[in-house]
Structure 1
Amino acid sequence: MQILSRTAVTLIALTLTLAGCGNQAAPDSPAGAGSSSTARPADVKLDETSDPPWPAPADVPSRVAAAGLDLGPMGTAEHYHPRLSISIDGQQVPVIPNIGVDPSTGTMSAVHTHEGDGTIHVEADTVGEKFTLGQLFTQWGVALTPTQIGGASAAPGEKVTVTSNGRPVLGNPADLQLQPDQQIELSLP
């Protein structure tokens, strides 16, 4: 029988705690599902215009505040799960776990992720609160504009393509309101 180190036990406990939101499974590794051999080392500093893949930001409280949200326990007034898929130059980009989740306290914003499968958890304190895709990206530390996703920019005359439940969305993708059972696709050719 293999004995786990205190650090390993702590990481397992933290992972199980952060999995939250019903019966969701915890990711298999700290990088979460969808991580690849091109993942950056944890000590590499990123800005909003870095190329993918994008890890969770180091300073969760400031990113959450920048998105106009706050950290706390999961809200219980509303709870729904939009799904996000990102494609850049035909390659899928993972939506990583624990965007909007402070690993030091276990608190989270009303808009956050747990899995690496593109599921966005919206857990609001008040019925009818409105949240946007831009708030998720602000917390992630990834730029989202009509012509840019992080460091990937559209060619002249092109834009970020956005669909919601298969329907084209015009305007700034950051303004897209999150809704229950929504399927969001972002792509750059």
Structure 2
Amino acid sequence: MRSRTYVVLVLTAIVGLSGCANDTERTDPGKDRTIATPTSDGTPSPDDVAMPPWPAPTDVAARVSAAGLDLGPMGMAEHYHPKLRIIIDGSEVPIPPNVGVDPTTGAMSALHTHEGDGTIHIEADSVGEVFTLRQFFTQWGVALTPDQIGGVRAKPGQQVELTSNGTKVTGDPAALRLEPDQKIVLTLQ
């Protein structure tokens, strides 16, 4: 009887563990957050469960590629700095340094951060390229939709509020085109 119970327990554990192999998310060891795993096409999916603050990602090359950009030396054909603020439940969420910057090589995407003050650096190698908030959040690895920022979801009947230079912008906040000297505020109460 004892060996039969042992076999049942072992089989239950094996079946339970094998089910974990197909999960689309996994827990980051030592941290209370979930990391999104790659989608079926291999691109990393944005994290839509982690709560702020959100660190700069470690899989920089994959996230830059998912944003439709590439890593390389800093471009100088066009250079400007929009400023991003995120306010959730009345508290400002920090924008980390080195989003879009490979810490190993120093290579960076044309859209990146250096400081932790919300300044987004656009340093493109050709004039007239269009950059969006979607590309920035994709590189950061944080979900941005009309109803959520990362794992913070809007209450029923509410949406993420977006202003650009003090003017309310409707629609998908991720579609916002980044412009020189732009002041962007995302708010979710």
Q: Same fold (TM over 0.5)?
A: yes
Structure 2 Cα separation of the partners of residues 42 and 87 of structure 1:
23
1:63-116 per-residue CA deviation (whole Å, 9 max, x = no partner) reads 000000000000110000000000001111000000000001100000000000
Q: Does 1:182 pair with 2:182?
A: yes
2:35 partner letter: L
Alignment TM-score, normalising by the size of structure 2: 0.76
Which residue pairs with 1:127 in the alignment? Answer: 127
Aligned residue identity for 2:165: N
* Distance across 2 between alignment mates of 1:79 and 1:41: 39
- Name the SS of the counterpart of 2:61 in structure 1: helix
Q: State the partner residue of 1:79.
A: 79
In the alignment, the residues of structure 2 paired with residue 105 and residue 41 of structure 1 have an alpha-carbon distance, to the nearest angstrom, of 27
Counterparts of 1:165 and 1:173 in 2: how far apart (Å)?
A: 14
Q: For residue 58 of structure 1, report the CA deviation from its aligned partner.
A: 1.1
Query: Which one of 35, 39, 58 corresponds to residue 46 of structure 1?
Result: 35
Measured at CA, do residues 90 and 41 of structure 1 come closer, stay the same or move farther in structure 2, by a change above 3 Å? farther
Task: Please tell me whether residue 62 in structure 1 is matched to residue 51 in structure 2.
Answer: no
- State the identity %: 66
For residue 134 of structure 1, give the secondary structure of its aligned residue in structure 2: helix
Task: Write the distance in 2 (CA, Å) between the matches of 1:58 and 1:183.
Answer: 27
Match of 2:146 in 1: 146
TM-score (norm 1): 0.76
Give the number of the structure whose alpha-carbon radius of gyration is greater: 2
Specify every segment of 5 or more residues in structure 2 that has no aligned partner in the other structure, as ranges.
1-28, 37-46
Hey, what does 1:136 align to over in structure 2? 136
The Cα of 1:46 is off from its aligned counterpart by 2.8
Q: What's the secondary structure of 1:184's corresponding residue? A: strand
- Count residues in correspondence: 150
Whole-angstrom CA distance in 2 between matches of 1:41 and 1:133:
30
Please show how residues 92-111 of structure 1 align to structure 2 within 5 Å: 92-111=92-111
Distance 1:155 1:42, change over 3 A: closer
Distance 1:44 1:154, change over 3 A: closer
Whichever residue aligns with residue 159 of structure 2, its letter is K
CA contact (8 A) 2:33 2:51 kept: no
CA RMSD of aligned residues (A): 1.6
Q: Distance in 2 between matches of 1:161 and 1:82?
A: 18
SS where residue 35 of structure 2 aligns?
coil
Task: Decide whether aligned partners of structure 1 residues 42 and 101 sit closer, same or farther in structure 2, where only a CA change above 3 A counts.
Answer: farther
Q: Which residue of 2 aligns with 1:26?
A: none
Deviation (angstroms), 1:41: 6.3
